Structures are given as C-alpha cells and as structure tokens.
C-alpha cells in the first residue's frame, strides 16, 4: 500500500469533541484518523473524498496528552 506522505502527529489538528485528527488533503478535503484507532496501532489516515492516504508518525505515549484534551481516559494504560 502506497501513501501520499508521512506526517508527524504534531502537524495534524486534533478535534477533542470528535476525538479526530485531521490534516489537509490536496483534493480540498482532509485526511482523518480517530485517536482510538491510533491507540490500537493504526497509523494510516485516509481522505473520505479521494483515494489518498498518509502515514501518521507518532509514538503511543504521544496520545496521552490528546486523551487529556478530549477529557477522556485511554482504553487502557499507555505504556512506552
């Protein structure tokens, strides 16, 4: 599977209310990935309007602050 680009988690926008990370797509829409999917090991964000995908570069412990921003606890303790 080929991806369009690799993006650091810090360069994405986190939406605490929807627990969604987004990043602009060249088609005009945005790549999307849920924090729980990332917690489960998923690292591919997809654009719902076209076939492009990006690799999201992150470490599991990076998600802890985003869970705090969303006001929720991670599904299980985050370990390094």
Residue 77 reports pLDDT greater than 70? no
CA dihedral of residues 38, 59, 29, 72 (deg, nearest 10): 50
Q: How confident is the model at residue 75 (pLDDT cuts 50, 70, 90)?
A: confident
User: Whole-number mean pLDDT of the chain?
Assistant: 92
Task: Report d(CA 77, CA 52) in Å as an integer.
Answer: 32
Domains of the chain: 5-58 (3.10.660.10)
Q: How confident is the model at residue 1 (pLDDT cuts 50, 70, 90)?
A: low
Q: Which two tokens stand for residue 53?
A: 């995908």
CA distances from 17 to 1, 26, 35 (A): 31, 25, 11
Tell which wins on pLDDT, 78 or 35.
Answer: 35
Name residue 31's beta-bridge partners.
23
**pLDDT (0 to 100) of residue 78:** 54
For the entire predicted model, the pTM comes to 0.89
């Amino acid at each position: 599977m080929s991806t369009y680009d690799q993006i650091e988690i810090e360069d994405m926008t986190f939406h605490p209310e929807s627990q969604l990370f987004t990043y602009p797509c060249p088609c005009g829409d945005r790549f999307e990935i849920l924090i729980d999917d990332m917690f489960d090991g998923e690292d591919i964000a997809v654009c719902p309007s076209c076939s492009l995908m990006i690799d999201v570069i992150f470490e599991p412990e990076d998600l802890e602050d985003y869970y705090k921003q969303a006001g929720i606890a991670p599904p299980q303790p985050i370990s390094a």
